Each structure stands twice: as C-alpha cells, then as structure tokens.
Structure 1
Amino acid sequence: MAKCYMLAFMSTVLRHQHAAMATATEIMQNLTNLFGTQNRMAKSQAFRSIMCKTMKEGSSVRDHVLEMMSYLNQIEFLGGVIDAESQVTIILQSLPPSFQQFKLNFEMNKRNYTLAELLTELQSAKDLMN
C-alpha cells in the first residue's frame, strides 16, 4: 500500500524508475541515494556559514545572533547535531573584540545560557557599552 502511495505522488520520471521495485523500503533507499547528497551539501554549507561568520564591529548584535540561530536551525533541520553548550560557544566565538569582557565574564561565572537568554544578555551588554 505504501509503495502505491509513493508511486502515485512521484513525477512521471521517478515513477518509471521505481515501478519495478518490490517494496517501499527499496524505493526509499533509492531516493536517499539519489537525493541524499543534496542534503549533505546543504548541511555542509550551513556548517561552513556558521563557522566562517563573524560579527563586524558596530553592527547589530541582535541581527548577528538571530542569523547565527538561523544557521543552527538549518543544521538541525538537516540532521546535524550541535549540543546547546557548543551552540553558545560558537556564537560567542563569532563576536568582535568589543565583547571580550562579556566572554570573560561568561567563562569566569560558568553560566549556562539558552540561545534566547544569550541574545538578551548580549543586547544588554551592547547597551551598556554604548
């Protein structure tokens, strides 16, 4: 039954390629082989984006953190796993030198932030710097 539903919703070309397969599992495995590399490439691009991203001095910390959170969500959606502590560390490492005191306080106080809390704290720190 699953095979019938899968074939019914495929394009004509894909349906023709998969019609001779005996089970839905075979079809899924073949589809993964055909399209899985696109997922891998997208995940790789998201990882590259997040690791190369640095905030420019004077730009909006809120916009920067939201963009970083967007990349982290993309990675998670594509099956990548980055634990919460590492996510915070990645964002902190992407900040400019003007946030050095904030990073030092973070390390000294051994704080555990969620991404939302980190965003709020960074915005407050930025307001104090101004």
Structure 2
Amino acid sequence: MLATMTHELQKQHGDMFIYEIIQNLKEIFERQAYQEKYETSRALFQCKMSEGSPMRAHVMGYIQMLKKLGFPLKDELATDVILQSLPDNFKPLVLNFNMNEINKTLPQLLGMLRTAESDLKKNGSKSILIVHEAKRKGKKKGKV
C-alpha cells in the first residue's frame, strides 16, 4: 500500500498498520472534500450574472460539482438558484416562469435561457416572456 503513495504520505504513514493508514487517509480526504464542497456551494450561491454578459453554464458546473462531491441539489432548488442568478433584464422571464409553474429539467432550463439571451441580443434589452399554454377548465363549447 505504501508503494502507491507519494513520498510525503509514505513518510507520514511508514510506521502505521494498514487499518490506521486507511483511517488517516479517509480523514485527510474527507476534510478536503468538505472544503471543496464549501467553496463550490459558496461560489454557487453568490453567483450573479451581470447584465449583457453571455449565458454561461458555470452555474450548472457548480451544481454538477456538488453532485460529484456527494451533495446533490434537488432540481427545484437548483432551478431557483439559477433563476436567482440572472440579471434584472430576465425578471419578466423569471416572473412568468414562476407564475405559470413551468417545470423544466436543468438542461431544458439552460436551453431556454440561452434562447432568451439570444432574443435579448436581437431585441436589445426589451422584456422576455415565456408563452405557456394553460390547461382549460370547465365544459368545452360544442358546435352551434
């Protein structure tokens, strides 16, 4: 086991039994994983896209990194974090998204935001709206 370690780790674990080595390595790497999770979640929750900057998948990158570290976000929370990171010119889109209770997967949301960004570039900074077909309740009108 020692032969596969770096020289520094070999020196640190040279006089330990295998069980002690495993426990020590587990402790070392758990601390590193916790620190990485903390830094990633901090960056994610502070993420704010500035107006006019291109839509980037870095928010998705943070979400995926947390998942790899064993701390996945539920899609609903991830969607909220993404929507909250958008600049003010996306407010109508976010409002419409929430009012119509639109349910998208994260990749679909990212695609939708890229489309909205493209529309913003074409139309200047005019408002963006999502058209969502509502389900009608009540009786259907027959032919007269």
TM range (shorter): 0.7 to 0.9
Based on CA coordinates, which of the two structures has the bigger radius of gyration?
2
The alpha-carbon deviation at position 41 of structure 1 amounts to: 1.0
Q: Which residue of 2 aligns with 1:21?
A: 17
Which structure 1 residue ranges, 4+ long, deviate > 3 Å from structure 2? none
TM-score, normalised relative to structure 2: 0.73
Q: Which residue of 2 aligns with 1:35?
A: 29
Q: Which residue of 1 aligns with 2:78?
A: 87
In angstroms, what is the RMSD of aligned CA positions? 1.8
Unaligned stretches of 5+ residues in structure 2: 124-144
Tell me, in whole angstroms, the C-alpha distance in 1 between the residues paired with 2:69 and 2:45. 16
Tell me, in whole angstroms, the C-alpha distance in 2 between the residues paired with 1:50 and 1:80. 13
1:8 and 2:11 correspond: no
Q: 1:48 aligns with which of 38, 42, 50?
A: 42
Which whole-Å deviations, capped at 9, do the CAs of 1:40-82 have from their partners, x for residues lacking one? 1111010110111100001112x2xx01111111111222121
Q: 2:66 aligns with which of 75, 78, 81?
A: 75
The alpha-carbon deviation at position 38 of structure 1 amounts to: 1.6
8 Å Cα contact 2:41-2:66 kept in structure 1:
yes
TM-score, normalised relative to structure 1: 0.81
1:57 and 2:51 correspond: yes
- CA separation of 1:89/1:71 partners in 2, compared to 1, >3 Å: closer, same or farther? same
Q: Which residue of 1 aligns with 2:107?
A: 116
Secondary structure of the corresponding residue to residue 119 of structure 1: helix
8 Å Cα contact 1:7-1:19 kept in structure 2:
no
Tell me, in whole angstroms, the C-alpha distance in 2 between the residues paired with 1:8 and 1:82. 38
**Pairs aligned (count):** 120
Secondary structure of the corresponding residue to residue 77 of structure 2: helix
- CA separation of 1:13/1:122 partners in 2, compared to 1, >3 Å: closer, same or farther? closer
- CA separation of 1:79/1:18 partners in 2, compared to 1, >3 Å: closer, same or farther? farther
